């Protein structure tokens, strides 16, 4: 049996702008997904996926016969369509992938709610790429697309800066980002899944990022990494939110939902869903619960 595991992801800075070469700060999460492969002699891929409650949420089979095809065409569904697309993309990158007469029992296990947006897709892509010995960034491009920072998080065990200077060979550097005030940082789930592709399309419709704005975002990212006090950190978050708000013509999340919050709030990744970053000198759980948000995770329990 072969086993692969990849980390989830959160993008702390340069959301959207990372697509135009901005330097982003991203953190791999303690939550992730594993992929277990056992060979069988059925000439089929028998796939089963478990959620964080150890419940099967997806299963299907595929036939290995001069390629990878449905075992039962009548049972097609969107998840199987996507998985088949990924496996066929792998074959393009590695033509000898699963070309022997074996079959495989494949099991995936994730330890987070797949609605959280922590990287159900990116962890799967990276695990499959490791199994098939292909470039995960190329596999991402052939399937889901995006900047690829999530793949970098899947592959690293510490916070990173990520810059898309080359589509298939981005600049990834490990950084020390565990501020002295990290106990005052929390991640809050907004109870709705955001499709990052929709947000990317909206951003791209605005045209290419201005060079001076790009440099400003890069400088803020650098200062956020080096911030010594939570007051300085909050000021930098406000500056960053203001810039991205103008870039995508959207209202900052604090103005829209949390104007009475005694702390700071910043959108992460695609605005409007998934997780936000909240700063607070005291535990903000009661406040967010009162607003209808029940998932509040401290920095130390989220970030690897």
Tokens for 140, please give them.
Answer: 């991402």
Render pLDDT for 223-233 as a digit per residue (tens, 0 to 9).
999 999 999 99
Residues of the chain with pLDDT under 70: 100, 193-199, 202, 207-208
Rounded (to 5) percent helix, strand, coil in the chain: 40, 25, 35
> How distant, in Å, are the alpha carbons of 25, 175, 190, 209, 215 from that of 222?
9, 10, 27, 19, 11
What is residue 171's predicted lDDT score, i.e. its pLDDT? 96
What is residue 207's predicted lDDT score, i.e. its pLDDT? 66
Query: Looking up tokens 């959108």, which residue turns up?
Result: 267
What is residue 194's predicted lDDT score, i.e. its pLDDT? 61
Q: Do the domains at 2-173 and 178-302 have one common CATH topology?
A: no
pTM, to two decimals: 0.94
Alpha helices (runs of H) in 118-252, residue ranges in sequence order: 120-132, 136-142, 149-155, 196-204, 211-226, 230-248
Q: Which numeric CATH code is attached to 2-173? A: 3.30.230.10
Domain boundaries, the chain: 2-173, 178-302
CB 151 within 8 A of CB 125: yes
Q: CATH fold of 178-302, please?
A: Alpha-Beta Plaits (3.30.70)
């Amino acid at each position: 049996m072969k086993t692969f595991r990849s980390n989830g992801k959160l993008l702390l800075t340069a959301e959207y702008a990372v697509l135009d070469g901005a330097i982003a700060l991203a953190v791999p999460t303690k939550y992730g997904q594993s992929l277990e492969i056992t060979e069988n002699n059925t000439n089929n891929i028998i796939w089963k996926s478990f959620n964080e409650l150890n419940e099967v949420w997806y299963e299907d089979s595929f036939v290995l016969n001069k390629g990878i095809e449905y075992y039962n065409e009548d049972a097609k569904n969107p998840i199987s369509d996507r998985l088949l697309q990924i496996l066929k993309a792998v074959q393009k990158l590695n033509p000898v992938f699963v070309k022997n007469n074996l079959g495989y029992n494949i099991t995936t296990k994730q330890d987070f709610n797949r609605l959280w947006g922590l990287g159900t897709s990116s962890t799967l892509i990276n695990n499959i790429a490791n199994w098939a010995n292909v470039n995960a960034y190329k596999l991402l491009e052939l399937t889901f697309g995006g900047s690829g920072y999530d793949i970098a998080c899947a592959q690293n065990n510490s916070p990173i800066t990520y810059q898309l200077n080359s589509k298939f060979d981005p600049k990834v550097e490990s950084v020390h980002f565990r501020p002295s005030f990290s106990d005052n940082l929390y991640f809050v789930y907004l109870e709705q899944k955001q499709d990052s592709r929709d947000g990317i399309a909206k951003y791209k419709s605005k045209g290419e990022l201005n060079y001076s704005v790009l440099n400003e975002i890069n400088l803020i990212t650098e200062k956020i990494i080096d911030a010594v006090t939570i007051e300085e950190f909050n000021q930098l978050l406000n500056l960053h939110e203001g810039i991205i708000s103008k870039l995508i013509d959207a209202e900052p999340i604090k103005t829209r939902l949390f104007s009475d919050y005694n702390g700071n709030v910043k959108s992460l990744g695609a605005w409007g869903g998934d997780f936000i970053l909240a700063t607070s000198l005291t535990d903000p759980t009661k406040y967010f619960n009162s607003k209808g948000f029940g998932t509040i995770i401290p920095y130390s329990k989220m970030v690897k």
